Chain A
Amino acid sequence: MGFLSYFISGVSLGAVYAIIALGYTMVYGIARMLNFAHGDIIMVGGFVIFTVVSTLGMPPLLGIVVAVAACTLLGVTTERVAYRPLREASSLAVLITAIGVSYLLQNIALLVFGSNPRQFTSVVTLPNLVLAGGALTISSTTIVTIISCIIIMIGLTAFINKTKMGQAMLAVSEDRGAASLMGIDVNKTIAVTFAIGSALAAIAGALLCSAYPSLTPYTGSMPGIKAFTAAVFGGIGSIPGALIGGIVLGVIENLSKAYISSQLSDAIVFAVLIIVLLVRPTGILGRKINEKV
Chain B
Amino acid sequence: MKKALALGMAVVMAASLTACGGSGSTTTTTAASSETTAAAADTTAAAAEDTTAAAEEAPAESAGGTLKIGVIGPLTGPAAAYGQGVRNAVELAVNEVNAAGGIGDGIMIEMNAQDDEHDAQKSVNAYNTLKDWGVQMIIGSVTSAPCIAVAAETEVDNMFQITPSGSAVECVAPDNVFRVCFADPDQGAAAAQYIGEHQLATDVAIIYDSSTEYSTGIREAFVEEAANQGLNIVADEAFTADNATDFSVQLTKAKDAGATLVFCPFYYQEASIVLSQADSMGYDPIFFGVDGMDGILTVENFDTSLAEGVMLLTPFSATEESSKAFTDAYVAAYGETPNQFAADAYDAVYAIKAAVEKSGVTPDMSVSDICEAMKTAMTEITIDGLTGAGMTWNAAGEPNKAPKAAMIVDGVYVMQ
Interface positions of A (Cβ within 8 A of B)? 2, 5-6, 9, 13, 32, 34, 36, 50, 54, 91-92, 95, 99, 102, 106, 110, 114-121, 128, 130, 134, 137, 139, 141, 211-214, 216-218, 221-223, 225, 228-229, 232, 236, 253-254, 257-258, 261-263, 265-266, 277, 281-282
Contacts and interface: CB of A to CB of B under 8 A. Distances in A.
B1 A119 contact: no
B23 A214 contact: no
Contacts of B298: 116
A99 B22 CA distance: 14
Nearest to B339: A116
Given A2-B256, A34-B8, A262 B76 contact: no
29 contacts: A6-B249, A9-B246, A9-B252, A13-B246, A34-B11, A36-B11, A91-B4, A91-B7, A95-B7, A115-B77, A115-B79, A117-B268, A117-B300, A118-B300, A130-B282, A139-B281, A212-B273, A214-B245, A214-B269, A214-B299, A218-B23, A221-B23, A254-B246, A254-B249, A262-B250, A265-B243, A266-B242, A277-B5, A282-B2
A290 B406 CA distance: 62
Given A213-B276, A221-B22, A262-B238, 11 more contacts: A2-B252, A115-B80, A117-B268, A117-B299, A119-B303, A214-B245, A222-B23, A254-B246, A263-B240, A266-B242, A282-B2
B249 A128 contact: no
Interface in B251-301: 252-253, 256, 268-270, 272-273, 276, 280-282, 298-301
B12 A213 contact: no
A232 B8 contact: yes
A15 to B, nearest CB: 12
Contacts of A36: 11, 15
A202 B78 CA distance: 22
B328 interface: no
Contacts of B78: 115, 216-218
B16 interface: yes
Nearest to B250: A262
A118 B301 contact: yes
Contacts of A232: 5, 8-9
Q: Nearest 8 A-B pairs (CB), nearest first?
A: A212-B245, A119-B302, A118-B300, A115-B80, A117-B269, A263-B238, A9-B248, A257-B249
B81 interface: yes
Contacts of B299: 116-119, 214
A258 B254 CA distance: 11
Contact of A222 (B7, B210, B243): B243
B11 to A, nearest CB: 6
A223 B2 CA distance: 24
B12 A225 contact: yes
B331 interface: no
A99 B273 contact: no
Nearest to B8: A34
Contacts of A115: 26, 76-81
Nearest to A115: B80
Contacts of B80: 110, 114-115
Contacts of A50: 301
A261 B240 CA distance: 12
Contacts of B55: none
A263 to B, nearest CB: 4
B276 to A, nearest CB: 6
Contacts of A92: 7
B7 A119 contact: no
Contacts of B249: 6, 9, 254, 257-258, 262
A261 B253 CA distance: 12
B237 interface: yes
B194 interface: no
A137 B282 contact: yes
Nearest to B210: A263
Interface in B290-323: 298-303
Contacts of A139: 280-281
Nearest to B77: A115
Nearest to A250: B246
Contacts of B210: 262-263
Contact of B2 (A91, A225, A265, A281): A281
Contacts of A266: 240, 242-243
A262 B207 CA distance: 10
B96 to A, nearest CB: 26
B143 to A, nearest CB: 13
A201 B325 CA distance: 46
B384 to A, nearest CB: 30
Interface in B1-56: 1-2, 4-5, 7-9, 11-12, 15-16, 19, 22-23, 26
A221 B26 CA distance: 14
Given A110-B77, A128-B280, A137-B282, A253 B243 contact: yes
Most A C-beta atoms less than 10 A away, residue of B210, B248, B256, B282: B248
Interface string B342-378: 0000000000000000000000000000000000000
A119 B282 contact: no
B280 A119 contact: no
Contacts of B242: 222, 266
Given A115-B78, A214-B245, A99 B15 contact: yes
Most B C-beta atoms less than 10 A away, residue of A114, A222, A281: A222
Contacts of B253: 2, 258
Contacts of A117: 268-269, 272, 299-300
Contacts of B240: 263, 266
B411 to A, nearest CB: 14
Contacts of A214: 245, 269-270, 272-273, 299
Most A C-beta atoms less than 10 A away, residue of B15, B238, B282: B15
A114 B26 CA distance: 13
Contacts of B1: 282
A144 to B, nearest CB: 13
A263 B16 CA distance: 17
A211 B243 CA distance: 13
Nearest to A231: B8
Most B C-beta atoms less than 10 A away, residue of A2, A106, A257: A257
B301 A54 contact: yes
Contacts of A121: 301
